[in-house]
Amino acid sequence: MNRRDFVAGTATVTLLAGVARAEDVRPNILWITTEDWCPDLSCYGTKGIHTPHVDRLAAEGIRYETAFTTAPVCSASRSAMMTGFHQNYIGAHQHRTYDKQPLPHGIKPIPNLFAEAGYYTCLMSKKIDCNFMPSGKKNLFMGSDWKERKPGQPFFARITFGGTHRAWNRDPQRPIDIKDVEIPPYYPDTPFVRRDWANGLEQMQLVDRQVGALLQRLEDEGLADSTIVFFIGDHGRCHIRGKQFLYDGGIRIPMIMRWPGKVKPGQVGKELVMSIDICATILEAAGLTPPVPLHGKSLFSEEVKTRKYVFSARDKMDETHDAMRAIRSKNHKLILNLMPERPWCQYSRYKESAYPMLAELNVMNMKGQLTPEQAAFMAPSKPAIELFDLQKDPHEIHNVADDPGYSAVKAELLAELENWRKNVINDQGVSAEFRALEVFPEKCPTATVNEWDTQNGKKYDFRKNGWPAWYPTRTLAEWEKARAAWDPYVFRGPSERIPRPKINTVSGKKKTPVRKQKKERAT
């Protein structure tokens, strides 16, 4: 790596010295991931929350303001981060993939590359969640803690803190008053919404203390100065219009890097960066060359410094079929909805069972109590193209795709997106089988889609055709029942233990056991 000078105003990463190449002094790497989390941290200016340990990490390194994941859900985004490639290119874009395949094109997982180079690789938590084979912990990592390595051996360690994935715990040490939080304008500003939002922030405070304990361990073991630390979210926040969608709430993530003696502290990066850039960065830091050039680029590279666009994609989420592609510049975002006939809020068993705010929005929408900006997301179909002016509209609520004043921007972004789909990820688009237009009855004959799904799980192949896109997914009376069930859970006290309500039942269709699936593939 060459020395780079810090330029005020552009916040380019400063390298204070070259990377040592002797094996014994190669840097350790600790990659910390928190699940389902946007830059909702005090160091990013979020109101109400207090995250001193992550804030300190940012103060000691660089905090990226415009960092994005390649997919708005865990298995697809983690597949990309495990390889350094966009998930569609490696066939890992469908969450969840039942028929996992080996990685194509000669690509190897990042931990395997480090192991081959003499690093000790470890996964210090349970979750891997990759949509390719082999995906087991023993296939990808050598152990579960860096303490297991040989004396003097550098390590590559990954750890996931899963608390920020629903459900959330409250924080008795520092409960957050709902008056102290700020609600995005695409949500109704009700006490219920504020409490649910604040509960999520409290859970992040709990995770912050876990991060602090891990960083303290580095200090105690004398490893802090020789270890590159990355802190990120795997994708956006688990709220409506966040996770599973390509708005910034679904793909914008925190990204913080600390590298003592190499990266100047106190920096704020303004470049457009992606989660898969971490892969290229740590390989370069360790002096490693991947067998296939990565889609991600080193954070120290000219490609990142001058990058104009980042891209992301959403495909199947469990059995909820949809497909979207997005391109984002610093000033604009364009989303291409490949299945505009489907509603944003079509049936998702996971979301109905985990997101209290979904019940609040549906009840208010069916009663006509939402603003036009809030009600837009509850519509029965989507526009084919969404375009947002991020300087004027950072919350992405005013679609200007049909505004003649943005025709040139729209044409440019569409052309760049098409080039990415065709020449980078080899996008396969949407098949007729996946779209499933004439597979199901025209209307839902039951009070909830979940009820019909449970009754008909053995009659239809939901893995092939997905769940029906009937909308709304519940009657008003059923949504009101769900909203009432959520109330005591959302408003529980900081030290109360109230179980999360069971909103949906599980489909009666039996899934093929994992071991049987593997045996069938082998034959």
Could you report the per-residue pLDDT of 163-202, keeping only the tens digit for each?
999 999 999 999 999 999 999 999 999 999 999 999 999 9
DSSP result, 453-508: HHHHTTTS-HHHH-S---SSSB-HHHHHHHHHHHHHHHT--TT---PPP---PPPS
Distance of CA 438 to the CA centre of its chain: 32
How far apart are the C-alpha atoms of 480 and 448, rounded to whole Å? Answer: 12
E strands, 88-218, in order: 101-102, 120-123, 132-133, 155-161
Beta-bridge mates of residue 394: none
Using alpha carbons, select from 83, 92, 87 the residue that is nearest to residue 132: 92
CA distance 433 to 406: 35
pLDDT average, residue stretch 123-149: 96
**Residue 212 pLDDT > 50:** yes
Taking only the tens place, the pLDDT of each residue in 275-324 is: 999 999 999 999 999 999 999 999 999 999 999 999 999 999 999 999 99
Residue 22: its pLDDT value, please? 45
Q: Are 232 and 279 in contact (CB under 8 A)?
A: no
The per-residue pLDDT for 52 is 98
pLDDT at 506: 60
Confidence band (pLDDT; 50, 70, 90) for 8?
very low
Across all residues in the chain, what is the average pLDDT? 93
- Rounded-to-integer distance, Cα 441 and Cα 438, Å: 8
Domains and CATH numbers, the chain: 23-167+198-314 (3.40.720.10), 332-522 (no CATH)
Q: Which one has a higher pLDDT value, 337 or 15?
A: 337
Q: How confident is the model at residue 9 (pLDDT cuts 50, 70, 90)?
A: very low
**Positive or negative: CA dihedral 398, 66, 34, 42:** negative
| DSSP class of 70 | S
| Residue scoring higher pLDDT (97 or 195) | 195
* Predicted local confidence at residue 359, as pLDDT: 98
Q: Tens of pLDDT along 377-403?
A: 999 999 999 999 999 999 999 999 999
Return the structure tokens found at 24: 């014994």
Q: What is the pLDDT of residue 505?
A: 72
Across residues 143-163, what is the average pLDDT? 97
Q: Is the pLDDT of residue 516 over 50?
A: no
Q: Containing H/E element for 324? A: strand 324-328
pLDDT, tens only, 317-352:
999 999 999 999 999 999 999 999 999 999 999 999
The pLDDT of residue 489: 98
Helix axes of 74-83 and 277-285: crossing angle, nearest 10 degrees: 30
pLDDT of 517 higher than 50: no
pLDDT at 508 over 80: no
Residue-by-residue DSSP string for 226-248: GEEEEEEESSS-SSTTSTTSSSH
